[in-house]
Chains A and B, each alone.
Chain A
Amino acid sequence: MSEKIGVYVCHCGTNIAGIVDVADVSQWAGEKLAANGVVISRDYKFMCSSLGQELIQKDIQEQGLTRVVVAACSPHLHEKTFRNACQGADLNPYLCELVSIREQDSWVHTDKVAATEKAKAILSGGVARVEHHEALEPLRVPIHPDTLVVGGGIAGIQAALEIADAGFHVYLVEREPSIGGHMAQFDKTFPTLDCSACILTPKMVDVGNHPNITLLTWSEVQKVDGYIGNFVATIKQKARYVKIEDCTGCGICWEKCPKKVVDEVFEAGLGNRKVIYTPFPQAVPKYPVIDAPNCTYFLKGTCKACEKFCPTGAIDFNQQDEEITVQVGNIILATGYDLFDVRRMPQYGYGRLANVYTSLEFERLGNAAGPTGGNIVLRDGKTVPKAVGIVHCVGSRDQNYNPYCSAICCMQSLKFAHLVHERTGAEVYNFYIDMRTPSKGYEEFYQRLLEEGTHFVRGKVAEVTNLARIPEEEGKLIVQVEDTLIGKQRRIPLDMVILSAGIQARHDAKEVGKLFGISCSADAWYIERHPKLDPVATMTDGIYIAGCAQGPKDIPASVAQGAAAAARVLGKIQQKEISLEPVRATVIEEHCSGCRICNDLCPFSAILYLEDKKVSEINPALCQGCGTCVAACPAGAISGTGFSNEQILSQIEGLLLLNIRQLEAVPA
């Protein structure tokens, strides 16, 4: 054994020491692992503190340690810390191994004796492995200064503008014909009741006009290759059938288009649009799209009214989908949310009882630019309701649907109560379980509603029905609810019921997450790198998240996250280059048979087949050390630094304490 290994066992306060007998582990390592090269073994309260790090550095310098093993928390947290500490004492940082006896041991066990034994095994694995470590130099690669923002809701808009204003180029990809997201559908925003369009559209226009923003609407990302600093994204631009060079956005085409369809997206099914359309008058960009599956020309081969009337000849029925690839250094995902599908709760009657509305429908109903011009009327288009019920927590905080609180719907329900009251003078009933108004100005808004005379009934609505039991209920919607404040069942007859549906992850969030290589929670929200300390980064370097894609939140929080993600990206761009883990794969030429199994597998196209030599070769500048080819090569001809067979197998042997047993075994 030529290596001199120092072992450091951390208490992490009581996080580890509360369950694991750290002194015993450290003493055991000093004795039992001495034959494996351990020359010094210590335990210390907080290894990550500067005093803890100095301890390691002092030993490296005074004892001439050639390897360091720290038994503490997960490498996610402090691998860098201890590597840097080693580097500070002139030991190559990659000769340090951090093994986790917190996440993988003390936090998941209650039996102190067993946990202590497990800590010894984990440590022994690290000691056995570290012997095979090599000194490595990090690779430095330049960061591409352009950024891809996916999703043009308020979060994505904010992020794009921040980066573009700072002087860097942004590609903003939006799936719909216009940016704006959900916010564009609202009339007023809580708690200040500013007009949503008035505060949103200037930002949309900025995006549209910004010299540093390439806006790609009616587009979707198909494929992402590469890694932080050097992503290549393939984007599909769906055919608009409108030449944007020629279109002036005059609107004659959609005026003349003879066919109307229900607008399920922007009008939430409450209103119609033409087949050639922009979702709303202030759409950015101003160019319409043809909804080909519904277009009479595409269906029957005749019509072309839009083409006939377009004054600039901008309609082009022959346009094809286009694929473009862009190179970017960082990516922000701001894909937002979907509304909970209230049809999943048939007891609330949506779809069966005409005057039951979803919250988004009501947003359109109350919107001055909406299908009724902002008049709050029943589905018949004329009757003004005299009594309106608003049901909170629909699909939220319910073990049968979404267990979480959707965070915005209490305030949104209060906003609706105010609008109904103000515009119709109707009696308003809010049915809530708990009232959640925790942000700035929100509780005050609630107070205002209390003063306005809204009725607040605390209880979960059991049912919305039209089956009358008494004459006063005839022709009404009846809400059946237990009023838990008075301890009584109540039946309240109403003209209109609004279901404040919860918000949930996009239906395709999981697939989109996979495309970008980030993970989702069980509810399909994108997972942040750290729930408190790193809320907009993800576990994948160079990919950030913002807005409701990360979890339910209101507009101010979405904007804050968009700006935060932009700041993180700008920070990376300013660094100009980043150092990458020097974990790379290499082909051992004499073992390679040139079978070509590996040739098509590399996600970074790092593998090249050399026709003349009939062997494969890996380009170290492109290889990211993902390990795909290492696992695939049937000849065992590819080896990955940091994860060689030797390293992994000796770690397993160490874990199984074979390194000790072999020495202790009595000869047979």
Chain B
Amino acid sequence: MSKPKFAMYWAASCGGCEIAVLNIHEKILDVDANFDVVFWPVAMDAKYKDVEAMEDGSILLTLFNGGIRNDENEHIAHLLRKKSKILVAFGSCACEGCIPGLANFSPINEIVETAFSTISTDNPQGIRPQTSYQMPEGEIHIPTLYPVLRTLDSVVDVDYYMPGCPPESHQIGAVIDLVVQVLQGKAELPPKGATIGAGNSTVCDECKRTRNVKTIKEFSRIQLMHADPELCLLEQGIPCNGVATRSGCDARCPTAGAQCIGCYGPAEGVIDYGARLVSAFASVIDANDPAEIDRILDGLVDPAGQFYRFNLAGSLLKAGKSAFQRSNV
């Protein structure tokens, strides 16, 4: 009997998700033992046309990381959807846009300008990329950038979401275990649309710091103060996003002494991560005088980065789908 097929793909992402998968150590052998890896550009050579030739639905499990930034990303998303039984939005970029999604604040020409002209860029001829170019051998193309980055599920139907930037290796291992058990008939798949490889509560749930009733008189940056190692960071005025971020990471950042920045995305049932967090922070600011409130809020130096670092493209603001639709009419 042939083994079930496995694929993994990276669209607009940094590559960290791929590393995280390799980082599951000897569990990777389980993948090999239980699956036939048919497509995984970072790990093996394969051509798109090989995938196109596969039968629809013939890949059992595809882990898709990265957001949809250009027409190639979108093309492969549609292709893998067609060929896969289970398509997992893997990692923060595919789930909610992540860091690449922050570029949705800028128009493409600005993004390109910045990328090809910063001080650290060696580009004496001031070259800008063209989507097509006439070579003696014929016309060549590179993918066309879309006006905004979108999440995987705004392009194709997604079966499961696995958050994290990147997903924690032990969570990846647990998910692989689960799929293997399902294959062996020992477990059942969670309902479609579920978030897998993560907890049901928020980071605070796993955070060991002591916490009290919160009243915030001042926001500060962690590098500007000596934080108490035992006490909840948020209570010390360090804007820790743990209160709103889905659990599953073992509260790594707050345990190490840094604030949670939200890579595990919104908690179950929360539609807009940033809005939730804004209203939570606002609720515990201890001031009534508008000027005083403004002063406290000025302590949050980068509100967009604070509240939407990972979630902009997937937020209700949808600096994603609707903006995309508008600019494509």
CA distance A25 to B202 in the complex (A): 45
Interface of A is mostly: loop
Are A596 and B280 touching (Cβ within 8 A)? no
Are B283 and A597 touching (Cβ within 8 A)? yes
What are the residues of chain B within 8 A of A632 when measuring CB–CB? 279-280, 282-284
CA distance A597 to B242 in the complex (A): 11
Q: Which of A597, A598, A609, A634 has the most CB of B within 10 A?
A: A634
Hey, what's the 0/1 contact readout for B152-184 against A, CB within 8 Å counting as 1? 000000000000000000000000000000000
Q: How far is the CB of A320 from chain B (nearest CB, A)?
A: 25
Q: Does B243 contact A (CB under 8 A)?
A: yes
Q: Does A579 contact B (CB under 8 A)?
A: no
Query: Size band of the A side of the interface?
Result: 20 to 34
CA distance A601 to B234 in the complex (A): 16
Q: Does B244 contact A (CB under 8 A)?
A: yes
Known: A634-B276, A635-B267. A595 touches B204 (CB 8 A): yes
Q: How far is the CB of A640 from chain B (nearest CB, A)?
A: 13
Hey, what's the 0/1 contact readout for A608-619 against B, CB within 8 Å counting as 1? 010000100000
Q: Which of A590, A593, A598 has the most CB of B within 10 A?
A: A593
Interface residues contributed by chain B, number (CB under 8 Å): 29
Are A628 and B202 touching (Cβ within 8 A)? no
Which A residues, 632 to 668, have Cβ-Cβ distances below 8 Å to chain B? 632-637, 645, 649
Known: A590-B200, A593-B205. A634 touches B267 (CB 8 A): yes
Q: Does A591 contact B (CB under 8 A)?
A: yes
Q: How far is the CB of B254 from chain A (nearest CB, A)?
A: 11
Q: How far is the CB of A433 from chain B (nearest CB, A)?
A: 40
Q: How far is the CB of B108 from chain A (nearest CB, A)?
A: 25
Are A597 and B284 touching (Cβ within 8 A)? yes
Minimum CB distance partner of A646 in chain B: B269
Comparing B83-91, B211-219, B291-299, the segment that makes contact with chain A is B211-219
Which B residues, 215 to 270, have Cβ-Cβ distances below 8 Å to chain A? 215, 234, 242-244, 247, 266-270
CA distance A63 to B2 in the complex (A): 57
CA distance A636 to B280 in the complex (A): 10
Are A594 and B270 touching (Cβ within 8 A)? no
CA distance A632 to B276 in the complex (A): 7
Q: How far is the CB of A151 from chain B (nearest CB, A)?
A: 25
Are A637 and B267 touching (Cβ within 8 A)? yes
Are A593 and B283 touching (Cβ within 8 A)? no
Are A590 and B213 touching (Cβ within 8 A)? no
CA distance A609 to B200 in the complex (A): 19
Q: Does A600 contact B (CB under 8 A)?
A: yes
Which A residues, 345 to 395, have Cβ-Cβ distances below 8 Å to chain B? none
A residues at B contact (CB < 8 Å): 590-601, 609, 614, 628, 631-637, 645, 649
Known: A591-B200, A595-B211, A597-B243. A631 touches B279 (CB 8 A): yes
Q: Which of A595, A601, A609, A636 has the most CB of B within 10 A?
A: A595
CA distance A635 to B270 in the complex (A): 7
Are A600 and B213 touching (Cβ within 8 A)? yes
User: Can you report 29 residue pairs joining A to B where beta carbons are below 8 Å apart?
Assistant: A591-B200, A591-B267, A591-B268, A591-B269, A593-B204, A593-B242, A595-B202, A595-B204, A595-B211, A596-B213, A599-B214, A601-B284, A614-B205, A628-B283, A632-B279, A632-B280, A632-B283, A632-B284, A633-B276, A633-B280, A634-B202, A634-B280, A635-B201, A636-B266, A636-B269, A636-B270, A637-B201, A637-B267, A645-B271
What are the residues of chain B within 8 A of A631 when measuring CB–CB? 279, 283
CA distance A591 to B204 in the complex (A): 11
Q: Does B313 contact A (CB under 8 A)?
A: no
Hey, what's the 0/1 contact readout for B270-293 against A, CB within 8 Å counting as 1? 110000110110111000000000
Q: Does B203 contact A (CB under 8 A)?
A: yes
What are the residues of chain A within 8 A of B267 when measuring CB–CB? 591, 634-637
CA distance A125 to B271 in the complex (A): 19
CA distance A598 to B213 in the complex (A): 8
What are the residues of chain B within 8 A of A594 when measuring CB–CB? 204-205, 211
CA distance A283 to B211 in the complex (A): 54
What are the residues of chain B within 8 A of A633 when measuring CB–CB? 276, 280
Partner of B271, one of A591, A598, A600, A649: A649
Hey, what's the 0/1 contact readout for B57-87 against A, CB within 8 Å counting as 1? 0000000000000000000000000000000
What are the residues of chain B within 8 A of A609 when measuring CB–CB? 213
What are the residues of chain A within 8 A of B242 when measuring CB–CB? 593, 595
CA distance A645 to B316 in the complex (A): 14
CA distance A98 to B266 in the complex (A): 33
What are the residues of chain B within 8 A of A635 when measuring CB–CB? 201-202, 243-244, 267, 270
What are the residues of chain A within 8 A of B282 when measuring CB–CB? 632
CA distance A599 to B284 in the complex (A): 9
Are A590 and B201 touching (Cβ within 8 A)? yes
Are B214 and A597 touching (Cβ within 8 A)? yes
Minimum CB distance partner of A629 in chain B: B283
What are the residues of chain A within 8 A of B215 when measuring CB–CB? 600
Q: How far is the CB of A551 from chain B (nearest CB, A)?
A: 29
Top 5 A-B pairs, shortest CB-CB distance: A634-B244, A634-B280, A632-B283, A593-B205, A593-B204
Q: How far is the CB of A223 from chain B (nearest CB, A)?
A: 13
What are the residues of chain B within 8 A of A599 when measuring CB–CB? 213-214
CA distance A454 to B257 in the complex (A): 86
